[in-house]
Amino acid sequence: MVKDGIYYGVGLGVAGLLLSVVFHPAWGLPFFLLAAFCLYFFRDPERAIPAGDVVVSPADGKVVHMRPTPGGGVRISIFLNIFNVHVNRCPIGGRVTGVEYKTGSYLMAHKELASDENEQNTLTIDPDRPGSGPVIVKQIAGLVARRIVCYKKIGDRVEKGERFGLIKFGSRADIFLGPEWQPTIQVGEKVAGGSSILAKLRNTPAGGV
């Protein structure tokens, strides 16, 4: 579990207990329910990380957009509802070459404009594999999500599937891939962070070489 979940869960649980003791048990019930939800929301399950030259999903959720980018690449957008795991994972192993936070709007995360206009944090990873261009992940806040957390800094070494941050209470993750990557998923598919394969190197089997 993410430590934030413990803080929220314990705080709400204590508040519920105090209200139940001082006033009436019914007064504490909403706080106990919220505490249980926070413990559920901030869960952080282990994942089986695929081997080989593949890109894994940075987040749990549903693929809502796949758009071409200049230079022949692709942007894959994943929408996270409040019931998804919100821990974000590195899509590929390499070195962090960019971390940039930008303030912005709070449009509904599944909308196309959210990628450019919403509050966001951009993580750029230079992959280990020679000849592969940078892989970029955007953590995008949504209508409910108002807190983006990123644990990494420029120069950090990361492994594929490694946890790098989270977005609290509903959000979106965009990943930008160069033309050397062949998407292996479709719009509408559900994915799991760190374990679902989003793309493979062209002319390479999905499990790697």
Q: Characterise 187 by phi-psi region: left (phi > 0), alpha (psi -120 to 50), beta (else).
A: beta
Assess whether 195 carries a catalytic annotation: no
Compute CA 165 distance to the chain's CA centroid, rounded to the nearest angstrom: 7
**Identity (one letter) of the amino acid at 82?**
I
**Identity (one letter) of the amino acid at 158?**
V
| DSSP 8-state class, residue 132 | P
**31 in Cβ contact with 8 (< 8 Å):** no
Tell me the Cα Rg of the chain: 19
Tokens matching residue 160: 């594929």
Tokens 């994972």, located at residue: 89
Catalytic one of 57, 115, 171, 196: 171
The number of beta carbons lying within 10 Å of the beta carbon of residue 201 is: 19
**Phi, psi dihedrals of residue 162, rounded to the nearest 5°:** -70, 140
Tokens matching residue 141: 């806040």
The residues assigned a catalytic role are 171
